[in-house]
Structures are given as C-alpha cells and as structure tokens.
Amino acid sequence: MRIRGNVAIDLGTVNTLIWVAGRGLVLEEPSAIAVDATTGAVTAIGEAAEVLAEKEPQDIQVLHPLRDGVIADLDATAAMLNGFLRRARPHNGPLRPRALVCVPSGATFVERRSVIAALEARRPRYSARLIDEPVAAAAGAGLDLSGGAGGFVVDVGGGTTEIAAVAGWRVVRARSLRMAGNTMDEAIVHAARSNLGLILSQRAARQLKMTLGLTGGVDGWAETVGLDLAHRSPRVERVPADLVAAALEPTVTAIARSVQEMLSDIPPGLAEDVVRGKVRLAGGGAILPGLASQIEASAGIGTVVVDDPLRCVVRGAALILERRDKNVPGLAQ
C-alpha cells in the first residue's frame, strides 16, 4: 500500500533525487546550496545555486555539502534537504512520514547518524531509515533479490564508486572507492592546464568528459572555452580526444581493477547469479563512453549499463519502500 507522504531520497554528492509515494519522481537537482556570505541566509538551492558555483559572485558562497557520497557539512545539508522537501511537497497525513535514504555501503556510523539528523532537524520530522546504495541500485537495475537471489552492481557516481555483490536484499561484499565522476573532471582540468596551458571550469571539463569519454566521440576532438594560463584571457580551444582519454585512464583503471578484485572475492554460490545477471553499471558515470566495454574486457564477464542510470538508485529505493518487505534491511530497522 502506498502511504502518502513517504519519500525515497538519493542524496548524492552531485545530484539529489526525491521520489514521493503516489506521485513518483518529483525532484532531481544538483546537491548545491548558495548562502549569503554576510548574513548566512540561504539564497538558492539546487540548479539555481549550481549555476552560480563557478561564476563566483561576490557575497555569495555556493556549497556542495556532500563529499564522497556522505555529509561533509551537516547544517548545509539539512538546509538543502529542507528546501528540496518543501519543494517536493509530499502530502503529509496524520502519520509521521517515512523517508528511505540511500547511503554508501562504506558510510561510517557517524556518517549514517548525520543523514538521520539532517532529516530529523525539520518539521514534520521524518522517521528516517537508511538503505545501502548498492541494494537500492540492484533493485533499480531490475534484479529481483527476493528468495536470496543475487547480483553484482557498480554504481559510478560523482563522489564514490560503489562496487558490490548483493543477495537477498543484503550486501554480500562491497567496496566504496572514493574515485568517480568528480575525480575524472579534476583529472581533465589538470591535463588541460599542464598540456594546453588552459584553465578550465569543472563544468567545461565535465562537458569534455561526456562528449569524448574514452572513445573520442564523433570527431575525435571537442571545442571548449577556458582561460589562457599565461594571459588570463578567455580562449577557445579544440581539445583532442587522446588528452581526455589519457586523463580518464587512471580513474577508469582503478575502477576496473577493483571490479576484478571484488569478482575474485565473491562466494562460489553467487557466481552463477553474477554471470547470468551480468555486471550492472549504474550512476551517472556509467554513461561515460567506453567505460562498460573497458570493465567487461578486464572483468571477463558481461557488463551492461542499466536503463536510466542516473535514476537507478532512487528507483530502487522507491521499489523497496513500496514493497514494505520485512526482509529488506532498510525497512526492518
């Protein structure tokens, strides 16, 4: 049964998504908040804050309150969540609403507590429960984990890459790598600076990553605009694909190696489920052109990108919230 007001939240380093029972996905915004540097008042959240991030207006500070998938700034996260939930307007009935929030499998006790604290700091107070992201990702990827069935998921987000074998709604083995989309952007910024003498914004680097990826896109180059390192004036530049591929290489190799190591560590009883179900790639980083084939080549088993990878985790959390199955750890707490 759908209980009005219940929400599933994917509180990500780069993007926050909120699903509301009975209404579906209602919010999808960058995890950013802009505050007045003098008064501390919140001036914008989500997309409206993100567009200001790299323009650096005076008196405004743009914060990304999550780092590596967990809360780095509790007050800012609570204010951002509060704003998002007000915007999402879940219809609250007389019962205390429930929130199911995804956290990285490697999150510490303190980090988990801080997510709950952020939700309890608002009115109405939510009864917050946490679920490990890989379990939500597996459900969102279409794996049916009931009856002890298992699968293997890799969620390449902005701050973390979660690599996990799951079975029966539980994590069997997991590794949270603090290397993902943001690391790739930073590597491109660094490469453009040292090889082309060009200072790029993170947004420009991200665009190059999406267009060229590991495969080089359609043209083998992409145009970008940055600041000339020597003259500090704007410069348009054609960036060659091999520069971007070389910058992405260390992160991609680290992810592929971790997948391989994790696969070699699964219990033998899970091997058939994993081979049949294939490695499921989720998260925004899964869309990186060439990533799936590189993982497949090094892992030696089929690797597929799930449908709509950016929404996979919240979709899975919503499915779990709707099942209200006692066997799902997130609901049994």
Binding site for ligand ATP (CB under 6 A): 12-15, 69, 157-160, 180-182, 206, 209-210, 283-285, 287-288, 310
The enclosing H or E element of 35 equals strand 33-36
Question: Within a 13 Å sphere around the CA of 81, how many CA atoms are in the beta-carbon half?
Answer: 32
Distance CA 302, CA 277 (A): 9
Closest residue to bound ligand ATP by CB: 181
Q: How far is the CB of 256 from ligand ATP (least distance, A)?
A: 15
Q: How far is the CB of 233 from ligand ATP (least distance, A)?
A: 27
Task: Retrieve residue 329's tokens.
Answer: 């750890």
Distance CA 176, CA 314 (A): 18
Question: Toward Mg ion, which CB reaches closer, 46 or 157?
Answer: 157
77 binds, among ligand ATP, Mg ion, none (CB under 5 to 8 A by kind): none
12 binds Mg ion (CB under 5 A): yes
Question: Toward ligand ATP, which CB reaches closer, 130 or 270?
Answer: 130
Residues 150-169 that bind Mg ion (CB under 5 A): 157
Cβ proximity of 181 and 14 under 8 Å: yes
**R_g of the chain, CA atoms, integer Å:** 20
- Backbone φ and ψ of 327, nearest 5°: -80, -10
90 binds, among Mg ion, ligand ATP, none (CB under 5 to 8 A by kind): none
- Residue 98's beta-bridge partner residues? 127
Question: Toward ligand ATP, which CB reaches closer, 3 or 210?
Answer: 210
Count how many residues are written for the chain. Answer: 333
Distance CA 205, CA 19 (A): 30
Q: How far is the CB of 95 from Mg ion (least distance, A)?
A: 29
180 binds, among ligand ATP, Mg ion, none (CB under 5 to 8 A by kind): ligand ATP
Q: How far is the CB of 331 from ligand ATP (least distance, A)?
A: 21
Residues near Mg ion, by CB under 5 A: 12, 157
